Amino acid sequence: MRRKIVAGNWKMNLSFTDAEDLINDLLDTLDEEKPTAEVIICPPYPYLELATDYMEENLFKVGAQNISSFGAGAYTGEVSASMLKSMDVTHCIIGHSERRKYFNEDDKMLTAKVNQALAHQLTPIFCVGESLPEREAGKDKEVVRRQVRHGLFHLDTVEFARVVIAYEPVWAIGTGMTATPEQAKDMHAYIRTLIAERYDEKVAEETMILYGGSCNSENAADLFSQEGIDGGLIGGASLKVDEFISICKQASAK
């Protein structure tokens, strides 16, 4: 039985004080509401420790938004998986479309990042998704297939079982244009078919697949009630306590 996950991707937002306020508000509200969904927050690197300090309260887990593809050493500006692990970070977003687009992260680099995460007991939240021209050209599944295969299918069954996938159509990210529940459900089912072909039905059935892209308190219930959608990766709406908690509650209701 897969448990729902709601992960908040704060991206490059908030001052230190705003981050502290948001974490405190989240703690208070999560403590009150106690959603059954697993809640993960992914603040920018300099704020991670603000969040990991509260991990023992068990209200949320903490993820990073990126990791280095290298292990350690002379890589100025990079943050390694082992550093994150040593701060009690549990998850790491890998392959977000903004990293693919603005930082030229390609399949080869993403494979290395996934390997780094797994080698240091971090759970990768591996993002895939097509652009609008790709969808309009009927290439959405081909693109997602390539991303899933290149990023993850080198893993053995045990390794693969530790990965969470996030389907995030690029055209839905930060645009207010959410995928319809049917479009999301269809792509999630397709990803599970790919996993069943590469591994087996049981692995496919057990893989956590989140939806991301303009998910908010208005559309979360519809999305999360679809077969095969195991929760959400939430950007803009994760910066507002009421919105985020409402999404967490809607994930917990199913």
**What's the CA gap between 228 and 156, in Å, rounded?**
22
**Per CB under 6 A, 101 contacts ligand PGA:** no
Annotated active-site residue in 96, 130, 188, 243: 96
Q: Is the CB of residue 79 less than 8 Å from the CB of residue 60?
A: no
Shortest distance, CB of residue 33 to ligand PGA, whole angstroms? 21
Annotated active-site residue in 38, 168, 188, 243: 168
Integer CA distances (angstroms), 55 to 19, 58, 119, 192, 223, in order? 16, 5, 22, 32, 28
Which of 81, 215, 245, 247 forms a contact with ligand PGA (CB under 6 A)?
A: 215
**Per CB under 6 A, 236 contacts ligand PGA:** yes
Phi and psi based region of residue 161 (left: phi greater than 0; alpha: psi -120 to 50; beta: remaining): alpha
**Per CB under 6 A, 235 contacts ligand PGA:** yes
Cα 113 off chain centre by = 14
Q: Is the CB of residue 94 less than 8 Å from the CB of residue 124?
A: yes
Shortest distance, CB of residue 93 to ligand PGA, whole angstroms? 8
Q: If we measure between CA atoms, which residue out of 143, 47, 137, 150 comes closest to residue 94?
A: 150
**Per CB under 6 A, 110 contacts ligand PGA:** no
Which of 43, 151, 212, 231 forms a contact with ligand PGA (CB under 6 A)?
A: 212
Q: Is the CB of residue 228 less than 8 Å from the CB of residue 185?
A: yes
Q: Which residues pair with 128 in a beta bridge?
A: 167
Active site (annotated) includes residue 150 = no
Shortest distance, CB of residue 216 to ligand PGA, whole angstroms? 7
Residue nearest to ligand PGA (CB): 235
Q: What is the CA radius of gyration of the chain?
A: 17
Taking the least distance from each CB to ligand PGA, the nearer of 133 and 174 is 174
**What's the CA gap between 156 and 162, in Å, rounded?**
10
Pick out residues in 4-63 that bind ligand PGA (CB under 6 A).
9
146-175 mask for ligand PGA (x: CB under 6 A)?
----------------------x----xx-
Taking the least distance from each CB to ligand PGA, the nearer of 168 and 199 is 168
Active site (annotated) includes residue 168 = yes
User: Which two tokens mark 92?
Assistant: 């790491």
Chain residues binding ligand PGA by CB under 6 A are: 9, 168, 173-174, 212-215, 233-237
Residues with catalytic function? 96, 168
